[in-house]
Chain A
């Protein structure tokens, strides 16, 4: 069976004052049915741009996007509309993702209104753990966690094969984050749905992801099974990310990696490895040659020195 999502060397560039900003630079990835693929990285690494490309909410300049084997990146605006139910998007800020003028019921029913399909709004609300009595409320009357559940219910309405989740718990209270993550896991089990999860919090990612891709300045620098990437990070940037995560307990000893230097400007990427300017292990070759992807125990790493 073809993968639910396949990105083939997609790239997205923006013109900024006569120069080119490369937001996403030749990223390829595939997500199988029922799998959670997490993209991690810091702000500006291109993960949100990539998320929008995967959901075909923003176009690509190069490369192909396939949904369950069907290429959608070349489709026109009209023809893509018929395919949209395949992939739905869940936004970071649930209060912005709901129209203040629509009740919860109207918001969840909107995909049906748009597509002319019929659907069961109370059942969707139940599926995300909300009481159907909330259908008559407006988003302003709900808590952040409830709003995110409404957004998830709406995204599930068209029975998509893939949900793209852009930092789905980052704006929620700590005690509510775990609820929503567990809900997502339950829904995945019930519906065999796939997730592309965009996140910056490696602890969150490590607990929900099957595969992890680490992005740095528009490229995936390390990708592999989540357990491998978390247990044995091979790229110095992944190592830095893991070492920077706040400790869980005050007594815990953490090996901090000290980096100096700023990341290069995405307007002016260096010819070699983009991380070289901050990398403690960088050598001459890193400054001149872009590291090709290398396969190590099922993990793909773009680093000259990874072993």
Chain B
């Protein structure tokens, strides 16, 4: 399978260039065509920055200092603005957490989708009416011709997010990037919207990168998962493997601290401490201060362990094998 998106050793920093704060350090991540990758992390882990910086959307003051981002063969790091514009909304469609913020309140949703089509395909907006109806049907909006004439505030949260997804799909992108696409939605609606995302990506052979704090969402739609902590990926692999047997203590802790939906009051397995913020990352393994199995070696940067076809950034398997030798 070919990689639609391939991020190699990405470093991102922000703030005063003389005294920068590192936000992302050496992230490598690829998304194959037709697969959904979940990028998981807590606040300050750098998951959103990784993605926004890759697409040149991170805003002023945020700089890529090293690395490469290739999207369908085009290098995006250092690319000029016309290239980035062609990529955004063309090759990549984006969906954000708050659909209300992503839609213009004063414009009918159909016109907004038509405009997204027009931006990349030209022509008159009215000429794209059929495409708008087709897109709305694709994301499961009932009675699409009528809903296209609605204003965003006339739609429910779930419908708005469907419209936002339709806009992301407007130009048949090869990659869909979604940042917390269901966080703002109600539980019963979340499942439906996830279903729409799954159909619009995996089932149509598109690649998707979903950024989230919610492991349940990853279990629901993703094929592969990358877990970020303090600006680095600490573990990545297939969702089935990582969920069944997490290698990194942070992944283990995250998975264990999720309460299960089952009868009976019980004590939760809680991780100690809290995620560190950019600028105050511990030296060595950033997770060591919270890690239940930290050893002395953890004060130095951990190597990547790739035994058994897995990938995790932890001293542990090595430490044990060295002890076994001595």
Contact = CB atoms under 8 A, between A and B. Distances in A.
Direct contact, A vs B (beta carbon within 8 Å): yes
Interface of A: 36, 42-43, 143-146, 173-179, 181-182, 185, 200-204, 206-210, 226-228, 230-231, 240-252, 256, 259-260, 262
Nearest to A209: B265
B73 interface: no
Nearest to B155: A262
Contact of A178 (B188, B214, B244, B269): B269
B274 A145 contact: yes
Contacts of B191: 243-244, 246, 256
A185 B189 CA distance: 30
B268 to A, nearest CB: 4
Contacts of A145: 274
Given A174-B258, A176-B274, A247-B219, A240 B188 contact: yes
Contact of B187 (A144, A200, A208, A226): A200
A202 B266 CA distance: 14
Contacts of A242: 261
A207 B263 CA distance: 7
B160 to A, nearest CB: 13
Interface in B196-230: 213-217, 219-220, 222
Given A185-B267, A207-B266, A247 B216 contact: yes
A226 B266 CA distance: 12
Given A201-B259, A202-B261, 14 more contacts: A143-B274, A175-B257, A178-B269, A207-B265, A207-B266, A227-B264, A230-B261, A230-B262, A245-B187, A248-B219, A249-B243, A250-B219, A251-B244, A252-B219
Contact of B259 (A181, A231, A259): A181
B254 interface: yes
* Interface class of chain A by DSSP: helix
> Which of B190, B213, B219, B244 gathers most chain A CB within 10 Å?
B219
B186 interface: yes
B217 A178 contact: no
7 contacts: A173-B42, A175-B42, A179-B272, A226-B263, A243-B191, A246-B217, A250-B222
B72 interface: no
Nearest to B266: A207
Contacts of A240: 188
A145 B273 CA distance: 9
Interface residues of B, number: 46
Contact of A249 (B42, B142, B244, B265): B244
A176 B42 CA distance: 10
Contacts of B257: 174-175, 177-178
Contacts of B260: 203, 206-207, 248
B2 to A, nearest CB: 24
B275 interface: yes
Contact of A244 (B188, B264, B267, B271): B188
Interface of B: 42-43, 142, 156-157, 186-191, 194, 213-217, 219-220, 222, 239-240, 243-244, 253-254, 257-272, 274-275, 277, 290
A145 B188 CA distance: 27
B239 A173 contact: no
Contact of B262 (A36, A206, A256): A206
Contact of A246 (B216, B253, B269, B270): B216
Given A247-B216, A250-B240, A241 B187 contact: yes
Contacts of B243: 249-251
Q: Which 3 A/B pairs are nearest by Cβ-Cβ distance?
A: A246-B216, A178-B270, A227-B263
B259 A207 contact: yes
A246 B260 CA distance: 10
B220 A246 contact: yes
Nearest to A230: B263
Nearest to B157: A43
Contacts of B188: 42, 240-241, 244, 259
Contacts of B274: 143, 145-146, 173, 175-176
Nearest to A245: B261
Contacts of B239: 250
Contacts of B266: 207
Given A200-B186, A240-B188, A208 B265 contact: yes
A207 B290 CA distance: 24
B259 A144 contact: no
